[in-house]
Amino acid sequence: MPSRMTLLVSSLINCSHIMRQEAFGAAKVNASLQFSVRGRALMGQKMFAVLEQARRIESQGAKVYHLELGNPRLPPPPAILSRTVQALIEQEVGYTQSAGHPALRQAIAQLRERAWGHTITEANVVVSPANLIINQFFDLVCDPGDKVVFFTPAFPSYWAAATHMGLQVEGVTLDLVTGYDLTDEAITRALAARPKAIVVNSANNPTGAVYGREPLERLAVECDRLGIWLLSDETYGEISFGRPFHSLGGLELPRLVVMSSFSKLFSVPGYRIGFVIAHPDVAEKFALSVSTLVSCLPIFTQLGCVAALDCIEDYTASVRERCVSMTEWCDQALQGTNRISFVPPKAGFYYFLDISACGLDDLTFAQRLLEEQQTAVTPGSSFDPSLRSHIRIATCGSVLDVHEGVRRLVALAETL
């Protein structure tokens, strides 16, 4: 199969061309098409390009082991599906409020109020796809050329959004040797850059690190003092298992925006529903942004999330259990080779693997893994362009994908 696979994956690296086929105008490609500055800057998310490439290979009959996307394959809470289905049967398919269905906004407000111990109302909550929220945040608070800081490696959507908008990204790298933890030194460097905005992501994708209360609060309070906007992406907070998760939502700071998503909480990434919690003036801007960009989100999926919120504690406990057992298995499997260095994750289902001992850069490694071992992963440079010797794997897929994919990854590393 290698030769066929080689052919099939030949365009993996040059992901921007994966969609091209023979079709109207393709033969007469018009070099004079002038896109805008932002149109030219678009980079997308590489793991989606990898997914597309993998699906294309599969559509031609080959099996691919998926480790590229955080696409949980756990059964979602029955309540989310049954309530969504019920709404569809009742033909609840009209428009709803741009800020989100009131029942969902209220349920989220109550959930966070219980966790944070201060008043949260509907006016603090806006429902929007989590990936869009990242774009909306930068759009609302940054102008082109403004500086933003990410602690890296950082989720590719932050890079994609900032690049699209012409922002200047300063990456503050967290290290494997300190367990990818948020150190005082990293915070000092981030603040010293005097950015317009900082993004902090605990529990972290891709490292699985969970940050302590003290550094997180120091960061938030200092941002407030210096007039820096702070986006706290807490998408993986509830599925921390190796260290207690601390939310920044307990602080009532006007420039602090807390976001999360139901994609991972309820194993429904295809629902495309996340939420922000912010000062009412900021939430109002997010709602106007939703209205401008997408009008509103579906009612039926939002009602599904309302129903599932009743069982969030039990369900996330089961997700954590699954994460723990999968992590135990993967830790052991990955420790079977000395070609890969990593820190066992304390949350979620990602491993950020240092493959420098393999002697290949991340893109070449990923390409050979897909070609020779039919296993898809995300190159580390998606998380920081300066990191060329890492890959990320996601272990939330099917047991077959994870076990066989990791075995194949180790097998390739051993041959190098």
Subset of residues 89 to 108 that bind a second copy, contact rule: CB under 8 A: 89, 91-99, 102
User: Nearest CA to 384 among 216, 215, 224, 158?
Assistant: 158
Per CB under 8 A, does 14 bind a second copy?
Answer: no
Interface residue with a second copy among 202, 240, 301, 327 (CB under 8 A) is: 301
Show the binding pattern over residues 164-203: x = contacts a second copy (CB under 8 A), - = does not.
x---------------------------------------
Segment interacting with a second copy, rule: CB under 8 A, options 73-81, 170-178, 367-375, 403-411: 73-81
Interface residue with a second copy among 2, 3, 14, 24 (CB under 8 A) is: 24
- What backbone phi and psi angles, to 5 degrees, belong to 234? -110, 30
Per CB under 8 A, does 213 bind a second copy?
Answer: no
Q: Show contacts with a second copy in window 125-164 (CB under 8 A).
A: 129, 131-132, 135, 139-143, 146, 157, 160-161, 164
Show the binding pattern over residues 370-399: x = contacts a second copy (CB under 8 A), - = does not.
------------------------------
Interface residue with a second copy among 10, 295, 386, 415 (CB under 8 A) is: 295
How far apart, in whole angstroms, are the C-alpha atoms of residue 407 and residue 294? Answer: 42
Q: Retrieve residue 40's tokens.
A: 């030219």
Interface residue with a second copy among 145, 244, 254, 385 (CB under 8 A) is: 254
Per CB under 8 A, does 26 bind a second copy?
Answer: yes
**CB of 273 vs a second copy, minimal distance in Å:** 9
**CB of 284 vs a second copy, minimal distance in Å:** 5
Per CB under 8 A, does 22 bind a second copy?
Answer: yes
| 66 vs 346 by CB, closer to a second copy | 66
Q: Over the Cα atoms of the chain, what is R_g?
A: 21
Per CB under 8 A, does 257 bind a second copy?
Answer: no
| 51 vs 182 by CB, closer to a second copy | 51
Q: Retrieve residue 4's tokens.
A: 């066929």
Per CB under 8 A, does 250 bind a second copy?
Answer: no
Count of residues near a second copy by CB under 8 A = 103
| 245 vs 300 by CB, closer to a second copy | 300
How far apart, in whole angstroms, are the C-alpha atoms of residue 22 and residue 191? Answer: 50
| 151 vs 286 by CB, closer to a second copy | 286
Interface residue with a second copy among 2, 3, 14, 34 (CB under 8 A) is: 34
**CB of 369 vs a second copy, minimal distance in Å:** 20
Per CB under 8 A, does 222 bind a second copy?
Answer: no
227: amino acid identity, one letter: G
